[in-house]
Amino acid sequence: MSTQIHSTAIVSGKAELADGVIVDPYAIIEDDVIIGEGTYIGPHTLIANGARIGKNCKIHNGAVVSTAPQDLSYKNERTFFELGDNSTIREFCTLNRGTTKQHFKSSVGSNCLLMAYVHVAHDCVVGNNVIIANSVQMAGHITIQDFAIIGGLTAIHQFVNIGAHTMVGGHFRVPKDIPPFIIAGGWPVSFERLNIIGLRRRGFTKEALDALNDAYRILYLSKLNVSQGVEQIKATMTVTPEIQTVLDFIAASKRGIITARRHASSGE
């Protein structure tokens, strides 16, 4: 499997391209770049210094990967952008590398899909199997955990964390952390219900779903505040691995978690 570089592409001799990499017309690949086996680099893309791209990725027309952070404190330090294996970056995404403030890198995991015009800012960490729809705009220092789905045109505030297996509706502003396993939507963005269908598709048992339903009823449908709800869960429920994930997420939250809408329910 040979590497194929179009004659109009500009590829630094210092860049490391594995076997089977395809580089389409007018792409630019800078010096400090490593690209894994079988990855496709589309036309008019820019793969800038600090890019570390995995195997079998697809980076489509006009995408810009690993450019400098949009942060006034950045002084051209050597930082990175990492992309895992089997991920797809669609047209005109802009993916910035990290800063020295936090991770020294930004990263998107394996088996992810970033649709057109997504922006991933400095020091963001996106997990595996994440889907981010068109024109989602991420500020710096955001974490999105595994299997999350983010609806199009959503703006996510800096330092926000979004939990695993969560679905966020489209065209919303996300100023607070969104716990795992739920659906969030509305204005302001709020707890809607447990992500029952998504969790069933991923093999969660009925017992796990029932326990999560009970926990989120306590957190969101009682008259308790978050701290009281956490204590109530610990006192009255068996803390399964899924419940522990929720408790750990809340304990680590610095921006606070989203609230519930008045009509919210924990089940379908």
Q: Alpha-carbon distance 101 to 66, whole Å?
A: 17
Q: Alpha-carbon distance 179 to 167, whole Å?
A: 10
Q: Alpha-carbon distance 136 to 127, whole Å?
A: 16
DSSP string, 16-31: EE-TT-EE-TT-EE-S
- Strand 4-5 versus strand 167-168 pairing type: unpaired
| β-pair partners for 257 | 177
* Catalytic residue positions, numbered: 122-123, 140
Q: What 3-state DSSP class applies to 186?
A: coil
Q: Are 116 and 135 in contact (CB under 8 A)?
A: yes
| β-pair partners for 16 | 34
Q: Are 57 and 81 in contact (CB under 8 A)?
A: no
DSSP string, 66-104: EEPPS-TT--S---EEEE-TT-EE-TT-EEE---TTTTS
